[in-house]
Amino acid sequence: MPRVTINDVGIYYEVTGQGFPLVLCHEFAGDYQSWHTQVRYFSRRYQVITYNARGYPPSDVPTQLEAYSQEQAVEDLHGLLLHLRIDQAYVAGLSMGGSVALNFGFSHPEVAKALVVAGTGTGSANPEEFRREVAALADRFESEGMEVMAEEYARGRTRLPFLRKDPRGWEEFKTMLADHSPLGSALTFRGVQGKRPSVFDQQTQLRGLTVPTLILCGDEDEPCIDASVFMKRSIPSAGLMMLPQTGHTLNLEEPDLFNRAVMDFLAAVEEGTWAQRDVKSETGYLLR
């Protein structure tokens, strides 16, 4: 079982394929297994790295809240890449993982050759309300357990398109969620989700980000739509793709659309045709 210790926490990871590195960062309700359709697709061309964040077995589950933060999640990813002797990589993530990918681009732009930020920004429009909801859910993860909470969480409004389109895939997703650590889930909610900044408060960092960035969002993932448009308007090197009648679990709900969109984006980056625009200009001229 491949593991690396980063800041005294063991992180489980898998490496599949050969070629330029592509690292995939999972969402709160997922883990490294959530990316199985992407691993099979992208490992034909890239070296694909998946891993479990701290709090997600078989990675370690620290018991102290202080061990969990978005900043720590970014540094865990950086430590993993250093361990693998990877100087530069494509960094992609969904939801919580999308926030990690985005903030990795802020902190380590020299390492991130391109970013894929999918289903990202939940809670940005109403951060105080979001933090209250996160705190209440964290308490319930600990008191009621994963099996009960997985049944409810997997039926959230932004997950229902997945259930409607692919009931078997949704059932596998729910079963995977039920296997997570209740303590790790609760502390991740409190330390990472509950304390991360709103996307709308990061405009200065977004405007300074020159790493090529693809933003993906489902048009039925209401909490992420405005944040995705805001990121598109703020990041000079960003493109935005909305997936029709699609919810939050983009990569599992619409794997073919997701994979083709990301592959086309990476091809454009490699060919030098992914444009950067002047977000401060009213004319929005494309810059080479």
Domains plus CATH for the chain? 3-124+196-287 (3.40.50.1820)
Token pair in block for residue 240? 């935005």
SS (H, E, C) 161-222: HHHHHCHHHHHHHHHHHHCCCHHHHHHHHHHHHCCCCCHHHCHHHHHCCCCCEEEEEECCCH
Q: Confidence band (pLDDT; 50, 70, 90) for 266?
A: very high
Instruction: Over range 254-262, report the average pLDDT.
Output: 98
3-state SS assignment for residue 51: strand
Q: Do 117 and 101 contact (CB within 8 A), yes or no?
A: yes
**pTM score over 0.85:** yes
- Say if residues 134 and 162 touch (Cβ distance below 8 Å): no
Tokens standing for residue 126: 């109403």
* Mean pLDDT over the full length of the chain: 95
Q: What pLDDT does 59 receive?
A: 98
pLDDT digits (tens, 9 = 90+) for 33-65: 999 999 999 999 999 999 999 999 999 999 999
Structure confidence at residue 279 as a pLDDT band (50, 70, 90): low
Asked whether 204 and 181 are in contact (CB, 8 A), the reply is no
Distance CA 69, CA 92 (A): 19
Q: How many CA atoms lie within 13 A of 179 on its CB side?
A: 13
Give the pLDDT confidence of 108-123 residue by residue, as tens digits.
Answer: 999 999 999 999 999 9
The backbone torsions φ and ψ at residue 28, rounded to the nearest 5 degrees and listed phi first, read -60, -45
CB neighbour class for 196 (10 Å; exposed up to 12, middle 13-18, buried from 19): buried
